[in-house]
């Protein structure tokens, strides 16, 4: 397995992470602090860009420490900037300073261990970045036990991978410093890793994955109509009426049945995606039933981001709500319960609809931003109401075939990307929750790679799911 990615710093300037993600990026390792333990001026925007667009993140710290005490100070500065932010890849300690090398291997070992132990004590995985010469002639056995990311590229570096230079050691190889990537205006370091930290137990999820999960749940509910009575609640369209009876109140707060349910729909989506405990933390109370209560518990932002909970302002109060699914300039898209497909804000409209608005035309409307970084797993509904544990996620996915959409497709795409299988166009899959030609091609190639175990039929049924999760 090989996963290709980049490492970046302020040297790359402002990066268009949406373009980078669309190009296909297995990971990005970000410089977090520079000389003098100052925060890299682009770290915050780079971290946000990666997490928003589903790019797994690691960080690196170029070391200028000449003693274990100075190394501990470097670790403390890194941890202060991270401020408990989730990482998918390790915190790499960059050992290449010539003044350090003059101290000798024993001194370098003490310096590096002082840094790494402090990083590990804070709950992060530590690793070492160095060139092949440092690995062979400076690193001790104690340091080689850590995951090592090795730099080695030719003098006539043109951005491509030179197979003849591939090191025989390390979990990752920095093979170029002069690659060209759409969305980055300068040359950039290119890397390949042989270890997928993102799928390891305990690495959690990115915020973008969590946002996609809750939006995926909401999308599957579009078209649901409220019922005239407490009957046939699971059907999307049967027994339609204006009684405000829904499966959403039934599942999360039965005592609210027959009441307006736009907030109940949001609560239900979070509950179905993440379970009750995490949904309660994300919404800061349970259940979310009243827009002003939510607004009082969150910072109310004036401009939307994907994954926000919008609270619409009408007649002097917050009176309707939904989930923001996409933003483009002044325009944003939502999925809302208890509304209609008509333009404008329609509260108590009777169904689940996808809508869009121009923010500048909605004075007083605000956006609440759940802390998706706390999510560690997603819990898709298997249709029976119970959940089982499989691999990194707690789920029992549905069969996926060409033309399907939804959360099971998203999970399949994530696993295929992690396994290194690409679409028919030769590019990494897009996490779009749609089982199109590229997704089915990658699935079929995976099945072919399991010759004798799986049939290459392009359908992800129970047997293929079990195989995917077990590996």
Q: How far apart are CA 377 and CA 392, in angstroms?
A: 7
Q: What is the pLDDT of residues 338-391, one digit of tens each?
A: 999 999 999 999 999 999 999 999 999 999 999 988 886 655 433 333 333 333
Q: Is 408's pLDDT higher than 80?
A: no
- In the three-class reduction of DSSP (H, G, I as helix; E, B as strand; rest coil), residue 188 is classed as strand
- Position 277 scores a pLDDT of 80
471 or 228, which is more confident?
228
Dist. CA 232–CA 34, nearest whole Å:
61
Q: Give the pLDDT confidence of 118-167 residue by residue, as tens digits.
A: 999 888 899 999 999 999 999 999 999 999 999 999 989 999 999 999 99
pLDDT at position 452 is 84
Count of CA atoms in the C-beta half-sphere (13 A) of 446: 28
Q: What is the pTM of this model?
A: 0.47
pLDDT at 35 over 60: yes
**Looking at the predicted structure, is the pLDDT value of residue 471 above 90?**
no
Mean pLDDT across the stretch 107-114? 96
Q: Encoding tokens for residue 110?
A: 């003490």
Residue bearing tokens 């483009």: 328
Q: In this predicted model, what pLDDT tens digit does every residue of 195-217 receive, in sequence order?
A: 877 655 444 456 777 888 899 89
Quickly count helices (H) and strands (E) in the chain. Answer: 15, 15
pLDDT band (50, 70, 90) for residue 224: very high
pLDDT of residue 52: 83
What average pLDDT does range 393-412 have in this prediction?
74
Mean pLDDT of the chain: 89
CA 171 to chain centroid: 22
pLDDT of residue 269: 95
Are 338 and 261 spatial neighbours (Cβ–Cβ below 8 Å)?
yes
């Amino acid at each position: 397995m090989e996963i290709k990615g980049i490492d970046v710093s302020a040297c790359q300037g402002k990066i268009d992470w949406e373009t980078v993600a669309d190009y296909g990026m297995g990971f990005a390792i970000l410089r977090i602090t520079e000389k003098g333990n100052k925060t890299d001026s682009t770290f915050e925007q780079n971290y946000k860009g990666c997490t928003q667009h589903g790019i797994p993140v690691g960080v690196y710290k170029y070391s200028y420490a000449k003693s274990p005490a100075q190394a501990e100070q470097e670790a403390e500065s890194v941890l202060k900037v991270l401020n408990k932010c989730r990482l998918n890849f390790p915190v790499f300690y960059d050992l290449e300073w010539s003044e350090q090398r003059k101290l000798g291997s024993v001194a370098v070992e003490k310096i590096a261990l002082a840094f790494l132990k402090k990083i590990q004590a804070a709950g992060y995985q530590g690793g070492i970045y160095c060139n092949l010469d440092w690995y062979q002639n400076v690193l001790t056995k104690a340091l080689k036990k850590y995951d090592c990311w090795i730099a080695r590229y030719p003098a006539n570096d043109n951005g491509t991978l030179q197979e003849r230079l591939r090191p025989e050691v390390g979990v990752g190889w920095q093979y170029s410093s002069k690659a060209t990537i759409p969305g980055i205006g300068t040359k950039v370091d290119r890397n390949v890793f042989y270890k997928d930290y993102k799928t390891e137990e305990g690495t959690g999820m990115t915020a973008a994955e969590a946002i996609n999960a809750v939006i995926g749940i909401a999308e599957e509910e579009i078209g649901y109509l409220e019922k005239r009575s407490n009957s046939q609640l699971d059907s999307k369209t049967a027994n339609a009426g204006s009684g405000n009876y829904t499966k959403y109140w039934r599942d999360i707060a039965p005592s609210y049945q027959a009441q307006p349910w736009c907030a109940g729909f949001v609560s239900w989506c979070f509950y179905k995606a993440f379970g009750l405990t995490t949904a309660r933390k994300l919404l800061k109370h349970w259940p979310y039933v009243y827009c002003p209560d939510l607004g009082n518990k969150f910072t109310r932002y004036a401009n939307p981001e994907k994954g926000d909970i919008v609270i619409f302002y009408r007649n002097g109060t917050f009176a309707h709500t939904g989930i923001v699914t996409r933003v483009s300039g002044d325009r944003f898209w939502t999925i809302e319960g208890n509304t209609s497909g008509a333009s404008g804000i329609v509260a108590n409209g009777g169904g689940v609809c996808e809508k869009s608005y121009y923010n500048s035309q909605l004075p007083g409307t605000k956006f609440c931003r759940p802390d998706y970084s706390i999510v560690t797993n997603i819990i898709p509904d298997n249709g029976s109401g119970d959940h089982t544990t499989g691999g990194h996620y707690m789920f029992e996915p549905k069969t996926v075939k060409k033309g399907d959409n939804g959360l099971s497709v998203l999970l399949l795409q994530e696993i295929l990307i992690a396994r290194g299988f690409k679409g028919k166009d030769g590019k990494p899959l897009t996490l779009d929750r749609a089982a199109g030609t590229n997704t089915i091609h990658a699935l079929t190639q995976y099945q072919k790679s399991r010759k004798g175990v799986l049939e290459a039929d392009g359908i992800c049924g129970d047997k293929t799911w079990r195989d995917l999760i077990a590996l």
